[in-house]
């Protein structure tokens, strides 16, 4: 396994996004199988695991806590706060909630579910327009002072929000969607993170599975799968966006690799302080993804991908409208 620095955290070059283990892409996977998969990931060198209170809610943190308890001191756990979720029942009130007292209560509840005494990386899941980011950063600073949290992160935050938060409590990492399927961070976010010395954690690095080449206009998703609601996964958009998969597949065929491996290797080649977190519920996909770490793309390969991708206008919004409003992007 190769390792990377995000801020002052050292983690495996690829992390494991655990969200899909408890739903989102369909029914929840078998708990015992997912615990085994998490152990399999660690056995193969993965040290960075991503979850959130909102996944479930609560079920994903509980799963990860049970799986990682025996190897707690060998891994880095990232979780998130920021949605308005009842801490007793898990009922969603809708919208965000980053009031300092709520952030601290979420941390205590997450510690119990994760069966640990500290959260390695605590992200604000979405920016709360009702709470100044300075107050949020101050709440996390208090948690760090108490030893409950080690590092502060932000997810889907804009550059000015990141700067304001960083001035109060240094931000270790920012998590946002980034892949050949969505290159929005390149314009402003990545240059700002480099300037500030903040690590970057791309989620959906395979475009929610699209860049694997296993999805086309004939694919039918499970009725619970959130991609049914995503404009970019409409029938018409999928048909048009297959051209992007063609670009990746062309390089993959030449390199004796898979499209997923090329898409991940492309991300890893962008900057050394970037750690993608592809998710999966299958061991063969985990092993395929990890193969992207050792896939060396030449300058010519990268130029070919960029040239091909630049000629394609990806169709459809990356998230449903209601979710996009929450991200500010």
Residue 186 is classified by DSSP as G
Beta bridge partners of 151: 121
Q: Tokens for 90, please give them.
A: 């898990």
| Average pLDDT of the residues of the chain | 96
Strand, helix or coil for residue 155:
strand
55 catalytically annotated: yes
Query: What is the number of other CB atoms lying within 10 angstroms of the CB of residue 309?
Result: 17
Distances (CA, A) of 240 to 210, 253, 308, 319: 12, 21, 14, 17
Statement: residue 256 has pLDDT above 70: yes
Q: Note the pLDDT of residue 94.
A: 85
In sign, the C-alpha dihedral spanning 78, 82, 83, 86 is: positive
Task: Give the mean pLDDT of 4-22.
Answer: 97
Q: Note the pLDDT of residue 324.
A: 76
Statement: residue 318 has pLDDT above 60: yes
Q: C-alpha dihedral over 229, 230, 231, 233, to 10 degrees?
A: -110
DSSP for 69-127, please give it: GGGGGG-EEEEEE-EEE-TTT--EEEEE---HHHHHHHHHHHHHHTTSS-EEEEEESS-
Statement: residue 328 has pLDDT above 70: no
Q: How does pLDDT run across 167-213, given as a tens digit for each residue?
A: 999 999 999 999 999 999 999 999 999 999 999 999 999 999 999 99
What residue spans of the chain are helical by DSSP H? Answer: 31-43, 59-68, 100-113, 133-145, 159-168, 189-196, 235-255, 259-270, 283-291, 299-310, 321-327
Cis peptide before 169 (omega within 30 of 0): no
Q: Tokens for 162, please give them.
A: 């990141």
Catalytic residue among 3, 25, 55, 123: 55
Cα separation, 164 vs 204, whole angstroms: 26
Q: How confident is the model at residue 329 (pLDDT cuts 50, 70, 90)?
A: very low
Cα separation, 160 vs 276, whole angstroms: 23
Statement: residue 299 has pLDDT above 90: yes
Q: How confident is the model at residue 24 (pLDDT cuts 50, 70, 90)?
A: confident
Please report where in the chains the tokens 């690829």 appear, as a residue. 14
**Packing angle between helix 299-310 and helix 235-255, nearest 10 degrees?**
160
Q: Note the pLDDT of residue 321.
A: 86
Domains defined for the chain, CATH in brackets: 3-327 (3.20.20.100)
Phi, psi of 274 (to 5 degrees): -120, 130
For residue 319, is it left (φ>0), alpha (ψ between -120 and 50) or beta? Answer: beta
Cα separation, 275 vs 202, whole angstroms: 7
Q: How does pLDDT run across 267-285, given as a tens digit for each residue?
A: 999 999 999 999 999 999 9
Task: Give the mean pLDDT of 99-121.
Answer: 98
């Amino acid at each position: 396994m190769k390792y990377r620095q995000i801020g002052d955290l050292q983690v495996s070059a690829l992390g494991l996004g655990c969200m899909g283990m408890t739903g989102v892409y369909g029914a929840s996977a078998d708990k015992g199988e997912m615990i085994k998969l998490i152990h399999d990931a660690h056995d193969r060198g993965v040290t960075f695991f991503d979850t959130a209170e909102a996944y479930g809610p609560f079920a994903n943190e509980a799963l990860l806590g049970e799986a990682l308890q025996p190897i707690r001191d060998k891994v880095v756990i990232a979780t998130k706060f920021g949605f308005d979720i009842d801490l007793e029942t898990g009922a969603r009130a809708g919208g965000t909630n980053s009031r300092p007292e709520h952030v601290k209560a979420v941390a205590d509840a997450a510690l119990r579910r994760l069966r640990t005494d500290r959260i390695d990386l605590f992200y604000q899941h979405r920016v709360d327009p009702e709470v100044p980011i300075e107050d949020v950063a101050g709440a996390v600073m208090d948690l760090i002072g108490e030893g409950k949290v080690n590092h502060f992160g932000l997810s889907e935050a804009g550059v000015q929000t990141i700067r304001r938060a960083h001035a109060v409590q240094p931000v270790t990492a920012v998590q946002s969607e980034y892949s050949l399927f969505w290159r929005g961070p390149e314009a402003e976010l990545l240059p700002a993170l480099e300037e500030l010395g903040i690590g970057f954690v791309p989620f959906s690095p395979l475009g929610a599975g699209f860049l694997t080449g296993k999805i086309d206009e004939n694919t039918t998703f499970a009725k619970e799968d959130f991609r049914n609601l995503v404009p970019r996964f409409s029938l018409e958009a999928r048909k048009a966006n297959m051209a992007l998969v063609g670009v990746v597949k062309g390089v993959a065929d030449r390199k004796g690799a898979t499209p997923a491996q090329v898409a991940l290797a492309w991300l890893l080649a962008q900057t050394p302080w970037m750690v993608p977190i592809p998710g999966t519920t299958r061991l063969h996909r985990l092993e395929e993804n990890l193969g992207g770490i050792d896939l060396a793309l030449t300058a010519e390969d990268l130029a070919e991908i960029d040239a091909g991708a630049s000629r394609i206008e990806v169709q459809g919004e990356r998230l449903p409208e209601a979710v996009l409003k929450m991200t500010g992007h």
